[in-house]
Amino acid sequence: MRQIKIQLQEPINVPLLHDELKQKYLDFQGLVLRGTELTVLLDGPTAPAEINTTVAQHDHTQENREEIALRLREEALGALETIIATETDPMLVLEARITRIENFLQVRLE
């Protein structure tokens, strides 16, 4: 088993990077993160340069975007359900949901 050690300059999303490497490299065996040092475990011919490139191009914000998109979808569906169930003025419901979304996004940005 080979180990490729990479000094990270930016944060990574370990589960997301793990899945990305697993799909891309058949010889990928796992990841170990200690502080800012990432160790990639391989059991085959993949070149260190390929791994370095993939890690450098990794978008650690992707999960955050997916989480935000899911939350926006939930809020939109919740607004529709409230409007249908209570026959409340749609603008009032939407204004309340928009405020909730703004608060959620503000927390995510901090």
Asked whether residue 27 falls in the same domain as residue 45, the answer is yes
What range defines the domain where residue 103 resides?
63-109
- Banded model confidence at residue 7, pLDDT cuts 50, 70, 90: very high
Which is higher by pLDDT, 104 or 22? 22
DSSP 69: H
Q: Are 7 and 43 in a shared domain?
A: yes
> Do 103 and 79 reside in the same domain of the chain?
yes
The percent of residues above 90 in pLDDT, for the chain, comes to 36
pLDDT score recorded for residue 46: 93
Contacts of 71 (CB under 8 A, 6+ apart): 101, 104
Say how many domains are in the chain.
2
Q: 51 and 75, same structural domain?
A: no
Residue 104's contacts (CB-CB under 8 Å, 6 or more residues apart) are: 68, 71
Please indicate, yes or no, whether residues 31 and 69 belong to a single structural domain of this protein: no
In this predicted structure, the answer to whether residue 4 has a pLDDT above a threshold of 90 is: yes
pLDDT value at position 106? 74
Kindly report, residue by residue over 17-58, the tens digit of the pLDDT: 898 899 999 999 999 999 999 999 999 999 999 999 999 887
Same domain, 55 and 100: no
Output b/e per residue, 23-44; b: 16+ Cβ within 10 A. eebeebeebeeeeeebebebee
Could you tell me the pTM of the whole model? Answer: 0.56
